[in-house]
Amino acid sequence: MRVATWNVNSIRARVGRVTDWLVREEIDVLAMQEIKCRESQFPFEPFTAAGYDVELHGLNQWNGVAFASRLPMEDLTVGFEGVPGFGKPDENGALPTEARALGVTVDGVRLSSLYVPNGRELDNPHYDYKLAWLKQLAADTRAWMAEHPTTPLALMGDWNIAPLDTDVWDLAAFEGSTHVSVPERAAFAEFEQLGLSDVVRPLVPTGYTYWDYKQLRFPRNEGMRIDFIMGSPAFQSLVQDARIDRNERKGDAPSDHVPVVVDLVLEPEDDDDRPMIFG
């Protein structure tokens, strides 16, 4: 099973590019982030024509997560337990929750599409929201793994964190900024302490997944590695190959992120019709 994650930065602007890539690269399941639309606005037809079903969680022109799969998707979950909100409180004082997390099960593998809050600046309330969001996601993941210890699990998406110094083109350029701060990296490390690991890095040790549109960042290769597939031990054991599809940052109207892809080898189902061998 070939699984991928991609922050598409507006699916309506890039639907042709995404569906062409899905077919060309024979992707079975794609987790998307920043679809930037509600369900009524999502361009389902090109995905259907390409042989993919879509599940999504989108509330407005911001954020939004989705899955496109040519295999059956089961056990759909929106958000996670205790997900924090952000923004203007409603009349009851509750903060609105954003469309940032979606989970499905495909062929016995549990997958989550995640768009972690950006954080904006270190003194911005959005930064505190980011840390709270990650803390609650870690708590929910810990509980889920305890309940399903043998089920392969992958948290996939745009984490908006560069966990290593080498995951940014110039660490000095990020001094005093988000994405590389100690609390953010500690929040990322908490998932590693749960037993999750970046299943791509052992196979693709270098390379970025994001380049800003400004200041010729892509031609200069001034990027960041912030899109990850974090897999449980059961998921890690299935990974056969991985890649970062850097070429998708080229050409007309690309997203500022590129796909991250892993190939899984699933255990074959028992075949009750296999011939019996007599001793």
Q: Which residues are catalytic?
A: 115, 158, 257
Q: How far apart are CA 145 and CA 143, in angstroms?
A: 6
Asked if residue 34 belongs to a known ligand binding site, the reply is yes
Q: How far apart are CA 172 and CA 164, in angstroms?
A: 13
Q: How far apart are CA 192 and CA 205, in angstroms?
A: 17
Asked if residue 9 belongs to a known ligand binding site, the reply is no
Half-sphere exposure of 236 (CA within 13 A, CB side): 13
Asked if residue 270 belongs to a known ligand binding site, the reply is no
Asked if residue 160 belongs to a known ligand binding site, the reply is yes
Asked if residue 118 belongs to a known ligand binding site, the reply is no
Q: Are 77 and 103 in contact (CB under 8 A)?
A: yes
Question: 197: part of which helix (H) or strand (E)?
Answer: strand 197-198
Q: Are 258 and 241 in contact (CB under 8 A)?
A: no
Asked if residue 92 belongs to a known ligand binding site, the reply is no
Q: How far apart are CA 26 and CA 2, in angstroms?
A: 7
Q: For residue 190, is it left (φ>0), alpha (ψ between -120 and 50) or beta?
A: alpha
Q: How far apart are CA 240 and CA 34, in angstroms?
A: 28
First-to-final CA distance of the chain: 36
Residues in a beta bridge with 211: none
Q: How far apart are CA 134 and CA 138, in angstroms?
A: 6
Residue numbers belonging to the annotated binding site for Mg(2+):
7, 34, 158, 160, 256-257
